[in-house]
Chain A
Amino acid sequence: MEANTINHEAWLTRLYLDAFPAASRYISKQGGSLDEAKDLFQDALVIYYEKTIAGNTNAPRNEKAYLLGITKHLWYHYRQKQQGLLSDDVLNYTDIPNDAPLIPSAKRLLRYLEAAGQRCMDMLQAFYYDKQNMREIAERFGLSGERSATVQKHKCLEKVRDKVKEKSLVYEDFCE
């Protein structure tokens, strides 16, 4: 699938040309600025990617209308938040439950993991975020086949998990 590749540029370019004018027209009519339109449309694209493309569900027939719908929804919540009607970050569309254990300075931990092994992080991201299957991962990372990709992914998971554990246990070092 077009979006489910390493470089999303062609996919994003097409969606931007198709849907951003309509999203901008809506935000403008509602009294919003161009910067607000850009910010909300960026979030709409992320939601679209995570919910439909990477989620392996069918992409909607009319992507433009779908993206406009998400933008309208985000605008509504954005205005509610501006008016003090919502205290939570409504753009926090992640499925992470509220009782999730806190990660000590996730940003710092992520920087450390990047430095410790970008290839492993790329491979885990391909699987968990971009939802690529093992055949695609094998191809992308130059591995001999699905089995080899499965083993490599497991080793990467172990390595990264151990590093998270190690760094989380020395909590003080990873607090900002």
Chain B
Amino acid sequence: MKISVSDSRQIDLYLLKQLAPQDKLLMDARFVLNPALHQTLQWQYQVHVLVQMRGRKQLKEQIKAVEEKFFIAPEYISFRERIWRLFR
């Protein structure tokens, strides 16, 4: 089933919990009446989850890279000695 830009957007807003109560109710009814639309909701939800996973993974990698800099780069020697002293 081809999904319109408008339906994709409505599903996004539904998943992001940004629909007004009356619009959410309308979408709930449409999902019941239209199984294909309901299926699209599920696939779109999986995209949200995967994008969230990817974003978090990339952010963690960036954090680790910054952390490594503090524990390796010569200019941060006083910073890391300060930290090491706390764990002696």
A164-B39 Cα distance, complex, nearest whole Å: 12
A8 lies within 8 A of B50 (CB): no
Q: Is A28 an interface residue (CB 8 A)?
A: yes
Given contacts A28-B86, A34-B83, A94-B52, whether A168 and B46 have CB atoms under 8 Å apart is yes
Interface size class on chain B is 35 or more
Q: Is A21 an interface residue (CB 8 A)?
A: yes
A110-B17 Cα distance, complex, nearest whole Å: 24
B1 to chain A, nearest CB (A): 11
Give the A-binding residues of B (Cβ under 8 A).
3, 5, 8-9, 12, 39-40, 42-56, 58-60, 62-67, 69-70, 79, 82-84, 86-87
Residue among A8, A21, A101, A162 making CB contact with B83, cutoff 8 Å: A21
Question: Which residues on the B side are within 8 Å of A130 (C-beta)?
Answer: 55
Question: Which residues on the B side are within 8 Å of A128 (C-beta)?
Answer: 48, 51-52, 55
